[in-house]
């Protein structure tokens, strides 16, 4: 628990209980109710004395989870939930149900995003604010997921709204999610995706070396990448790849390079050859895996962008493999309800 460096509500709650002489096991009872989704409010934690329930509600608010469910959308394999924070900020969380029988959750780290990537609906919203560690973890631990007696998703990915590594609260959230004293998720089942916030990428692989990392590449050419991901001008792809080179050498953990394929923009033979060369130059190229993603039309994104054909995507993946690069096509779910990569905007963007 000492790893919690940001003063989340959990730290303040524990300090309050200690200062008022409440036994340590009472704090563990609160955490157990949160982890098991057996309570939505402090008043629901029947293991606590009534006066303590009342005191905690007065000091920390009545609810254990600082998010309200606003709306839900479904398609055949995906459930997307619109949450509202107490401040009114809105975020989206997506759960994908795979035929193999397991689920994966995609969580948001920011309301909106300030990086302005030209292919992304969230970037068109602009940054509303960073989410707190409690708001991030609430997406995973919210009782709505377990009300029907279903297990929690087998994996969690920071691939929702926002640039995860631009929000310092993400580190505290990762500790809350992976610490056995709190949510206790296996770190290897947690993925953090970034477009290349290099200083915090270095911090991530140092503090959470077992967490899976995905770096968005989207172009092997600096100028073209900067047109897609403006952060390239501040933290170049080469700087981020150097961080990952050191990480794979010490951890021997596989890392992922996401490549969003946009028709006529970054899907040509020159792009393919340069991307393959970029991977082969790595210190341990066998530990770098390219995930090729077919572009999804997104509200607020550059209107000239188009999705390539499925055949072209498959051909691009085959071309990488033919050049000795580990590559697969990432399966896309939820495009019909704006729940796929780059489409989340929490209804801040409305047509018309």
Which residues are known catalytic residues?
92, 341
* Helix (H/G/I), strand (E/B), else coil: 277: helix
Q: What DSSP string runs through 57-116? A: HHHH-SBSS-EEEEEEEE-SSEEEEEEEETTS-EEEEEEEE-TTS-EEEE--SEEEESS-
Residue whose C-alpha is closest to residue 110's, from 95, 126, 124, 94: 126
H or E element, residue 312: helix 310-322
Residue whose C-alpha is closest to residue 108's, from 86, 85, 87: 85
Q: Residues 154-171, buried b or exposed e (16+ Cβ, 10 A)?
A: ebbbbbbbbbbbbbebbb
* Helix (H/G/I), strand (E/B), else coil: 230: helix
Beta bridge partners of 129: 111
* Helix (H/G/I), strand (E/B), else coil: 225: helix
Q: CA-to-CA distance for 89 and 81, rounded, in angstroms?
A: 14
Q: Residues 224-249, buried b or exposed e (16+ Cβ, 10 A)?
A: bbbbbbebbeebbbeebbbbbbebbe
Residue whose C-alpha is closest to residue 108's, from 349, 344, 296: 344
| Secondary structure E strands in the chain | 67-74, 78-85, 90-97, 103-106, 110-113, 126-130, 155-158, 190-194, 212-216, 255-261, 288-294, 326-329
Q: CA-to-CA distance for 197 and 166, rounded, in angstroms?
A: 7
């Amino acid at each position: 628990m000492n790893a919690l460096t940001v003063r989340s509500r959990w730290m303040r709650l524990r300090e309050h209980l200690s200062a008022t002489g409440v036994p340590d096991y009472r704090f563990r009872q609160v955490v157990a109710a949160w982890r098991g989704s057996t309570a939505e409010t402090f008043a629901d934690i029947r293991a606590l004395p009534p006066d303590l329930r009342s005191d905690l509600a007065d000091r920390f608010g009545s609810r254990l989870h600082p998010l309200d469910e606003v709306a839900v959308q479904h398609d055949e394999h995906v459930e997307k939930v619109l949450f509202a924070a107490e401040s009114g900020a809105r975020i989206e969380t997506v759960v994908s149900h795979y035929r193999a029988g397991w689920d994966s959750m995609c969580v948001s780290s920011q309301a909106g995003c300030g990086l302005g990537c030209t292919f992304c609906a969230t970037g068109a919203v602009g940054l509303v604010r960073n989410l707190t560690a409690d708001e991030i973890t609430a997406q995973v631990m919210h009782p709505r997921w377990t009300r029907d007696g279903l297990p929690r998703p087998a994996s969690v990915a920071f691939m929702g709204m926002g640039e995860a590594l631009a929000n310092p609260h993400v580190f505290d959230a990762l500790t809350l999610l992976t610490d056995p004293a709190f949510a206790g998720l296996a770190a290897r089942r947690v993925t953090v995706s970034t477009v290349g916030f290099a200083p915090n990428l270095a911090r991530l692989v140092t503090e959470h070396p077992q967490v899976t990392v995905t770096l968005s590449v989207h172009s092997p050419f600096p100028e073209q990448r900067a047109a897609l991901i403006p952060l390239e001008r501040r933290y170049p792809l080469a700087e981020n790849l150097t961080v990952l080179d050191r990480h794979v050498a010490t951890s021997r953990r596989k890392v992922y390079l996401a490549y969003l394929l946009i028709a006529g923009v970054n899907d040509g033979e020159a792009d393919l050859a340069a991307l393959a060369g970029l991977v082969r130059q790595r210190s341990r190229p066998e530990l770098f895996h390219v995930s090729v993603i077919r572009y999804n039309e997104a509200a607020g994104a550059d209107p000239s962008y188009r999705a390539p054909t499925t055949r072209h995507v498959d051909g691009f993946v085959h071309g990488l493999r033919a050049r000795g690069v580990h590559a697969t096509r990432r399966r896309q779910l939820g495009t019909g309800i704006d729940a796929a990569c780059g489409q989340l905007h929490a209804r801040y963007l409305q047509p018309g």
